[in-house]
Amino acid sequence: MPTLTPGEPEMTVREDGRVAVELRHIHKSFGGVRVLTDVSFRLSAGEVLGLLGDNGAGKSTLIKIITGVHQPDSGQILFGGQEVHALTVDQARALGVETVFQERALAEQLSLWRNIFMGRPISRAFGFLDVRRMRRITVELMGESMGFTSAALTPDTHVTGLSGGERQGLAIVRALHFEADIIILDEPTMGLSLKETDKLLHFVKGIRTAGKSAIFIDHNIFHVYSVADRIVVLDRGRVAGDFPTSRYTLEEVTEIMREVAATGKFVEPERHRATDAASRPDQAAGPR
């Protein structure tokens, strides 16, 4: 059976409630344009967090801050409860943050093995590559994790020869191989067929089973709703909503999203309005 599930989870599942990453009061502007305003949220270990928001809501800037590409103007970033100052890409990776971009993180003209080991090749003394070992590991990953059984695919196949789903699989397997703790999926379903999307969502559920965390960014509420434990809604650079998925039905989340897009405000769906605000479960709050 071709699967996109991670192999044997080597990580032990962490205790419930441990925070994998936390952002506190993050502000970020680019040349006077405010992109993020007072953004705070937490990602617990073993949690899949859906990040929803329109184009320009600040999703990708937020992700680039977590991955160390951009530094925030002010605010704190904490990994496992420890504050990290001036986070760099290398540091973020060392802390287990791994991004799965659909196309942007693959080099099309390069072979599968060069893509798997992009940015951290296995090398011997003086930076010389251990090509044989990287090819061998790629063959193993192709067979076990990617479910690539097509005869046309070899470790030396160039990415140009892969379908959208295969590319996605390659990027995901790469993240898993490097034992990422926090996997960031940036619009992973874009351009995928229904069948390939199912495979992908199945895999995202596997991330939780393995005790790892994921941030799942997508325009498609249906995809996010089906896999996320919690949803954070970004609107014009602010957190407009942060709630556990189980609290609302899919229709209610859709309604919330529509309301946020129109007014920028979080409006409690009707069914919950009767409930006293004080008795709400934690985190089911609007903008803080």
Helix axes 164-177, 194-209, angle to 10 degrees: 10
Nearer to other proteins, 37 or 123 (CB): 123
Choice from 109, 194, 262, 279 touching other proteins (CB under 8 A)? 109
Best CA proximity match to 170, nearest among 265, 104, 73: 104
- Which one, 86 or 151, has the nearer CB to other proteins? 151
Q: DSSP letters along 155-206, please?
A: TT-BGGGS-HHHHHHHHHHHHHHTT-SEEEEESTTTT--HHHHHHHHHHHHH
> Token digits for 159?
């990415």
Which token pair is 246?
């189980």
**Minimum CB distance to other proteins, residue 28 (Å):** 17
Of 28, 31, 70, 177, which Cα lies nearest the Cα of 117?
A: 177
Residue 212 φ/ψ, nearest 5 degrees: -105, 165
Looking at 77-85, 88-96, 212-220, 245-253, which segment touches other proteins (CB under 8 A)? Answer: 88-96
Nearer to other proteins, 105 or 256 (CB): 105
Tell which positions 117-146 bind other proteins, by CB under 8 A: 117-121, 123, 127-129, 131, 135-136, 139-140, 142-144
Q: How far is the CB of 124 from other proteins (least distance, A)?
A: 10
Please, which of residues 246-285 interact with other proteins by CB under 8 A?
Answer: none
Which residue do the tokens 């080597």 mark?
Answer: 10
Binds other proteins (CB under 8 A): choice among 1, 194, 274, 278: 1
State yes or no: residue 67 binds other proteins (CB under 8 A). Answer: yes
What is the distance, to the nearest Å, from the Cα of residue 57 to the centroid of all Cα atoms in its chain? 16
Residues that bind other proteins (CB under 8 A): 1, 67, 69, 88-90, 93, 99, 101, 104-111, 114, 117-121, 123, 127-129, 131, 135-136, 139-140, 142-144, 149, 151-152, 154-158, 160-161
